[in-house]
Structures are given as structure tokens and as C-alpha cells.
Amino acid sequence: MRAVVYDSPFKVSVENVPDPEMQHPNDAIVKITSSCICGSDLHMYEGRTAAEPGIIFGHENMGIIQEVGSAVKTRKVGDRVVMPFNVACGFCKNCQRGFTGFCTTVNPGFAGGAYGYVAMGPWRGGQAEYLQVPFADFNCLPLPPGDQYEADFAMLADIFPTGYHGAELADVRPGESVAVFGAGPVGLMAAYSCVIRGAAEVYSIDHVQERLDKAEEIGAIPINFDEGDPVRQIKDRRGGEGTDKGIDAVGYQAAAQGSSAAGGEQEEIPNVVLNQMIDVINPTGAMGIPGLYVPTDPGGVDEDAKRGALSINFGKLFEKGLRLGTGQCNVKRYNAYLRDLIIAGKAKPSFAVSHQVSLEEAPDAYDKFDKRVEGYTKVILNP
Ligand SMILES: NC(=O)c1ccc[n+]([C@@H]2O[C@H](COP(=O)([O-])OP(=O)(O)OC[C@H]3O[C@@H](n4cnc5c(N)ncnc54)[C@H](O)[C@@H]3O)[C@@H](O)[C@H]2O)c1
Ligand SMILES: [Zn+2]
Ligand SMILES: [Zn+2]
């Protein structure tokens, strides 16, 4: 089959690789219809992780079941399904408590597994024609047959639940104000989830204009951080007050104010968003941090950053009595509910999708998405 393979920093290629095989009676083989490129893939693509050449990318996968093992009871050949990016067993201590992003079965010695991701276990990615899905009863979320809502349902593998998780970690409630840092796909979904949860005012902070425009489309207030300190901009609009809540949908590769929005080297300040959140959130507030932080970053700006040690204003955080939550999204906790919002016509997460291209066009799509040019916001590959 054809698959997107990581070669070296800033280089992926589409290659012939062996088809996946059934390895266990609990497995299913899914013929992929949609697989998205994620901001998380860019960390590997840019050589900012320990990812080795040869890894098949793709953790946002959806398709039609092609084959099931004899132990699979609730899913059958021909079912249309979307898989959480987390590979999970459903029965370990963490899965049982709903923390499927921290499964201890699927990636021995570690809590958490994913398709096509460095350090997340042996699972191959789905930016390919076929995907092996273990524990298929647990990991395949059934969808209505046909091809309706394809782009909306594709968002259920990761970014819609992950954005929602950001709002959940920040405990966003009706009538509240929220500062959402980052208007990439995850930030847009976080802002959208805040709107769905009834937030009164949602600020969306980024410096890529097309992304800020999308945020405005869904009712958020765009804040361009290249035009000045975003905390100041928000407080100025709120009569000196900050916000009730904050969400970091940026992560450790946060760009400095005024840095280039379009490609090339960006001046990076890995702790800038964390400290801006501590600054902007009102006392007793909370922050959700779905943005990725890593324990090892070969390209880190200094020795501390290379081992994931960031300096944050913990004293201020204590003084304000702020709460924070972080980590991989437990997709399985939300995906069925978010699917039903889509079916009921109450959510349309495909608004974030900017491009749908064939698998063969993946190298070009990676390049443009990475440079954040030509409106590349969220890309779906259709093998
Ligand atoms: N926790 C999880 O389960 C999970 C799942 C998916 C993605 N992620 C992570 O979420 C983050 C966002 O993912 P994405 O797909 O939206 O990525 P992305 O790279 O497309 O978006 C990040 C956005 O942040 C903006 N940005 C950069 N510096 C900023 C700053 N200082 N202030 C405000 N905005 C800034 C960028 O311009 C960009 O638009 C990534 O770190 C990704 O790895 C986490
Ligand atoms: Zn993703
Ligand atoms: Zn488990």
C-alpha cells in the first residue's frame, strides 16, 4: 500500500510499504477514507522530537472496516468508523477510569499510545491506504453509513475532542470569558467548544490572519499578538479585567511577538503562553493546556528547554489560586457525544478544514501547512 513516511527534518515521502496484517483476533483492518495532518505531526516533521526515519505518520484516521478478527463482537466488515488518536485497551486501570490517553496496555512501560507517533508504541499511522486497529470494539467509533459529514466526522479522531478537552480542563461554564491561545486547528476547536458550552466571551489569540478570520467566523474575538501584548489587548477591552479561564492550544513551539508568520525560522519562547495565561486569568480561574510540551526536545532554545524544563511564574499562579490541567486528550471520553452533536446539526467542526488532497500530495501539503501559508489550516488526506 501507499503511505506517508518520515524521511528527515522537513521531508516526508509517499512510499510503498507492506499492507498491515491482522496480528490478533481483536484487530480490525480499516480502509482509510480520511486521515488528517495535525500540528502534532509538525513537531516530528520539523525534527523537534526523537522520531526516527521510517515512521508512518497519521493518528487522525477514519474509514471503512475491511476485515475483523474472530474476537471482535460489535463491529463488522463494511462499518464506517473513526478512531481516537489514542490507541487504548479499554480494561487497564487508566482506561477503566476514562483516561484512555494513558492506557498502560498498548505501549508497555509507558502510559499512552497513539498511531504513527514517536514514543507512542508500535502502531503504524493511517496516512496510508489501510490501518491495523487493535481492540477494535473499543477503538472504532461507529458512524452512520454513507459519506455524509465526512470532514466533520474526521475531526472526531483528535482536534474536536482535544479542543473540547481544553475547555473541560479549564472547566469552562456558561457566561464565562475565556482566552484561547492559538487559532490552529486545536485552538479553533477549543474556541468552538467554549462557544458550544455557553461561554459569553471567547478571545482567540494568534498571528496568522486566515486562522483569526476563522475564529471570528465562529463568534470568537480575534487578537493578533503581533500587534501587541495579547494580555494587554484583552485587559484593555475588558476595562482592566482579565478572563475567567484560559486555554493553551499552542504548546512548546510558541512564537515570539513579531516573529514571521509565514515559514522559515521563528523566534521561539517556549514558556510565553503559559506565563501569559497566568497573567490574563483572573484569581480563582483555571487553565486547560492541551498544547503539547515534551520531556526531550533536540531543537530546544536552551539547555533547559532541551529537557522540557520551562520557567513559569508559579508564585503568581499560587497567589491567584489558579488551577491547571494538561496532557493528552482522552478522546474516547467525548467522541460519541461530539459525533451526536454533528448528527443533530449542532456542531460543524469542518469549518476548520482548509484543504482536502490526495495521499500523493502529502509532501506538498506538509510543507505548506508547516509554513502556515496559502490558508493551510487543517488538511485532510483522502487516500
Ligand atoms: N493534548 C492533546 O491530546 C493534543 C492533541 C492534538 C494536538 N495537540 C497539540 O496542540 C497544539 C496545537 O495543535 P494544532 O494542530 O492546532 O497546531 P498548529 O501548529 O497548526 O497551531 C498552533 C497555532 O499557534 C499559533 N501560535 C504560535 N505561537 C503563538 C503564541 N505565542 N501565542 C498564540 N498563538 C501562537 C500558531 O501561529 C498556530 O496557528 C500542538 O502543540 C499540538 O501538538 C495536543
Ligand atoms: Zn492530531
Ligand atoms: Zn488501557
- How confident is the model over 147-162, as a mean pLDDT? 98
With the most atoms of ligand 1 within 8 angstroms of its CB, the residue from 37, 40, 102 to mutate is: 40
Q: How far is the CA of 319 from the centre of ligand 1 (A)?
A: 28
CATH of domain 2-158+330-382: 3.90.180.10
Q: How far is the CA of 171 from the centre of ligand 2 (A)?
A: 22
- The pLDDT tens digits for 179-215 are 999 999 999 999 999 999 999 999 999 999 999 999 9
Residue 297, pLDDT score? 87
With the most atoms of ligand 1 within 8 angstroms of its CB, the residue from 206, 260, 351 to mutate is: 206
Sign for the CA dihedral angle at 349, 354, 358, 359 comes to negative
Whole-prediction pTM? 0.96
Q: How confident is the model at residue 232 (pLDDT cuts 50, 70, 90)?
A: very high
CB 188 within 8 Å of CB 205: no
Residue 372, pLDDT score? 87
331 ligand 1 Cβ < 6 A: no
294 ligand 1 Cβ < 6 A: no
- Residue 64 CA: distances (Å) to CA of 2, 75, 146, 172: 17, 11, 10, 35
Closest ligand relative to 102 C-alpha: 3
- How confident is the model over 364-371, as a mean pLDDT? 96
Residue 50, pLDDT score? 87
- The pLDDT tens digits for 54-66 are 999 999 999 999 9
Average pLDDT value for the chain: 96
Residue 36 CB contacts under 8 Å (≥ 6 apart), including other chains = 60, 154, 155, 157, 158, 159, 378, 379, 380, 381
Distance in angstroms between the alpha carbons of the first and the last residue of the chain: 10
Residue 299, pLDDT score? 86
Looking from the CA of residue 187, the nearest atom of ligand 1 is 16
233 ligand 1 Cβ < 6 A: no
Q: How confident is the model at residue 260 (pLDDT cuts 50, 70, 90)?
A: low
292 ligand 1 Cβ < 6 A: yes
Q: How far is the CA of 8 from the centre of ligand 3 (A)?
A: 32
Q: How confident is the model at residue 266 (pLDDT cuts 50, 70, 90)?
A: low
Residue 26, pLDDT score? 98
- The pLDDT tens digits for 81-139 are 999 999 999 999 999 999 999 999 999 999 999 999 999 999 999 999 999 999 999 99
Looking from the CA of residue 292, the nearest atom of ligand 1 is 41
161 ligand 1 Cβ < 6 A: no
- Residue 197 CA: distances (Å) to CA of 172, 221, 379: 7, 16, 26
Quick count: other Cβ atoms within 10 Å of Cβ 320? 17
Q: How far is the CA of 62 from the centre of ligand 3 (A)?
A: 21
**Is pLDDT of 262 > 80?**
no
Distance, CA of 92 to CA of 102 (rounded, Å): 9
Please list, residue by residue across 17-39, b when 16 or more beta carbons sit within 10 angstroms of its beta carbon and e when fewer do.
beebeeeeebbbbbebbbbbbbb
Q: How confident is the model at residue 264 (pLDDT cuts 50, 70, 90)?
A: very low
Residue 265, pLDDT score? 45
Q: Where are the domains of the chain?
A: 2-158+330-382, 161-326
Q: By alpha-carbon position, which residue is closest to atom 13 of ligand 1?
A: 39
Report which secondary-structure segment, H or E, holds 344: none
163 ligand 1 Cβ < 6 A: no
Q: How confident is the model at residue 258 (pLDDT cuts 50, 70, 90)?
A: confident
Q: Which CATH architecture has domain 161-326?
A: 3-Layer(aba) Sandwich (3.40)
Residue 315 CB contacts under 8 Å (≥ 6 apart), including other chains = none
CB 208 within 8 Å of CB 185: no
Give ion ligand 2 contacts, CB < 5 A: 38, 40, 60, 158
In the chain, the percentage of residues whose pLDDT exceeds 70 is: 98
Cα 156-157-162 angle, rounded to 5 deg = 75
